[in-house]
Structure 1
């Protein structure tokens, strides 16, 4: 994070509360500001003040600290014209002032507000998207959290913990607090402890379901399916929100891994960038080199185009059937038929491989 001591205004955005808070703490620490300093440091909701008052709050000479600082959170909830006015005023922040503005969580429709403010702030301050720190710094944050609590956490298990809760770092941090509480003092947060105590996200279960299908392990696939729909009365929501889009997206990434393998290309190569899509692609996932990337590449090594084609066709037919495009029944029956057909396709592949 390339923030300078002379930066007077900071603009941050992100979807992870933990990363936003950690970044703010790092910035204040570099500026020599204590978050406990009630004289020279304040945290407010941006919508609770006028934009003029936000800038005025850092105009007073600091009393005990080297900087007069204010964190105005959720600036993206201000009206567009208020953001435009704030962009006009930030140039008036004095050298001893430090104004930190956050967009959290980033939402659709924030683009214009972000563009207006970032354009005004870049010449005098620092603009940063904390989501870019998620994969690189996420596991380290968890490892540091465990270390401060007096226990050990391996970085690979930290990555797995993040993946297990669907990639949500803040949620992983909360789960880690529970793991630390039950771990032996001075001991270790083990993979067994994570498996036993941390609930699995829908994305994690879909990965395991697909892994079972690609391995021909129908029992594992059915186990993961039952876990996905257990206690779910609104099957239609589960089908459209979790199961279908996640399976489709993950199969697409596995397909790309197989395509690169068959072409003899490395994912980092320029040829690979021309070979696969630019959006929602394996090249994007590869930049993070995280647990998700590892799982995709492992599945890509054992998958075939023929098998993936069958699985994707079954998904497409289930989607059409659920929307009335093909003859079928209700959502639960459509979903169960889809799972049965996926398992049957995997059984045939396994049986063919044994001949």
Structure 2
């Protein structure tokens, strides 16, 4: 369901969350424009990590000065881990409390904690009859969504150019929207944003670099795989941080997708029309059926160069690297652990028998 400004404005408490931060912030701007005047005295921005829910309620509950609504925006909501809604029932009709569940950084356990906190806040907002909007993009509609966003900027994009941008932005619509702003400036008065414009201007995401690294490993290109690894790490002293933040999780996800693609190839099935009996055998995360067409296409192409056993070995190497970085297995530095993992992966993927199907 698309964001409804009318329904949000009718509520006293609004919660905006979801993985697409650009859409989330656009909704926040729409609410601000509708509820407040420029340089408004009746607008205050607080932080979930610095201000308490009691402070939010006290501020938003005061009478507005010039506007019809007193608006308080709370950023980084998830940093407030204990929802306190005791002040909400007494909020006057003029109150508009906008809670923004900004994305937060942290390891896997921390992200699970944030997910729990988000659920608690959603339950609290729902209980008072507030408005909740979770901004997610549909992977299957991602390319078309990018083309529509280009249209908002007065530009046109071919499906191929939009797909290239989606790929370079790691399948994230918000990142693509940010890059479109730059691309619109770059092409100036030109009507069309071409694929070559995208390749020249767009900043590749870390997910894109990880895919390039995995793709290089699958094709036995060790120098390119190591080059992409060093781009991802940035500095040898930050190897462990980079590994936990995105390298190992993203590699694992991509290899699991390629592993599923290999299963599809071995079964000689149509990747876009799988029988339910086959789908039930596939992992739920990442779910093959929910992937964007260009993601499926990349995985299918990559899977032609490896067997299921080889891909299983690669997933085992990622698990070993994770254990080494955590001190559960003997290792040297974080960077050497990652380089060794990559080189062993390339060795494991060396063709012994043809894998194509």
2:133 corresponds in structure 1 to 128
Please point out which of 263, 281, 289 is paired with 2:286: 281
1:57 corresponds in structure 2 to 60
Please point out which of 97, 101, 106 is paired with 1:99: 97
* Distance in 1 (alpha carbons) for counterparts of 2:3 and 2:116: 24
2:45 corresponds in structure 1 to 44
SS at match of 1:127: strand
2:93 is equivalent to residue 90 of structure 1: no
**Conserved? CA contact 2:169–2:175, under 8 Å:** yes
* Distance in 2 (alpha carbons) for counterparts of 1:304 and 1:91: 60
* Distance in 2 (alpha carbons) for counterparts of 1:190 and 1:173: 15
* Distance in 2 (alpha carbons) for counterparts of 1:318 and 1:78: 34
Deviation string for 1:133-176 (max 9, x for gaps)? Answer: 47478666654553344332345544543442445554444333
Task: Provide the TM-score with structure 2 as the length reference.
Answer: 0.72
**Conserved? CA contact 1:16–1:105, under 8 Å:** no
Please point out which of 291, 294, 298 is paired with 1:295: 298
**Pairwise mapping of residues 144-159 of structure 1 onto structure 2 (< 5 A)?**
144-154=148-158, 157-159=161-163
Deviation string for 1:267-288 (max 9, x for gaps)? Answer: 775434531333x2224xx325
* Distance in 1 (alpha carbons) for counterparts of 2:116 and 2:344: 46
How far does residue 218 in structure 1 lie from its aligned partner after superposition? 2.9
Cα gap change, 1:143 to 1:63, in 2 (>3 Å): farther
* Distance in 1 (alpha carbons) for counterparts of 2:51 and 2:328: 49
SS at match of 1:227: helix
Q: Which structure has the greater CA radius of gyration?
A: 1
1:252 corresponds in structure 2 to 256
Greater shift, 55-64 or 15-24, is seen at: 55-64
How far does residue 194 in structure 1 lie from its aligned partner after superposition? 2.0
**Pairwise mapping of residues 295-314 of structure 1 onto structure 2 (< 5 A)?**
295-300=298-303, 303-313=306-316
Cα gap change, 1:133 to 1:70, in 2 (>3 Å): farther
* Distance in 2 (alpha carbons) for counterparts of 1:171 and 1:209: 21
1:225 corresponds in structure 2 to 226
* Distance in 2 (alpha carbons) for counterparts of 1:2 and 1:245: 31
**Conserved? CA contact 1:15–1:106, under 8 Å:** no
* Distance in 1 (alpha carbons) for counterparts of 2:175 and 2:14: 26
2:277 is equivalent to residue 271 of structure 1: yes
How far does residue 255 in structure 1 lie from its aligned partner after superposition? 1.2
1:179 corresponds in structure 2 to 183
Runs (5+) with no aligned partner, structure 1: none
Runs (5+) with no aligned partner, structure 2: none
2:19 is equivalent to residue 18 of structure 1: no
SS at match of 1:226: helix
2:207 is equivalent to residue 206 of structure 1: no
Cα gap change, 1:37 to 1:135, in 2 (>3 Å): farther
Q: Which has the higher helix share?
A: 1
* Distance in 1 (alpha carbons) for counterparts of 2:44 and 2:275: 45
2:71 is equivalent to residue 73 of structure 1: no
**Conserved? CA contact 1:251–1:308, under 8 Å:** yes
**Conserved? CA contact 1:151–1:185, under 8 Å:** no
How far does residue 21 in structure 1 lie from its aligned partner after superposition? 0.9
1:348 corresponds in structure 2 to 351
**Conserved? CA contact 1:9–1:93, under 8 Å:** no
Aligned-pair Cα RMSD in Å: 4.1
* Distance in 2 (alpha carbons) for counterparts of 1:97 and 1:181: 39
2:168 is equivalent to residue 164 of structure 1: yes
Cα gap change, 1:235 to 1:106, in 2 (>3 Å): closer
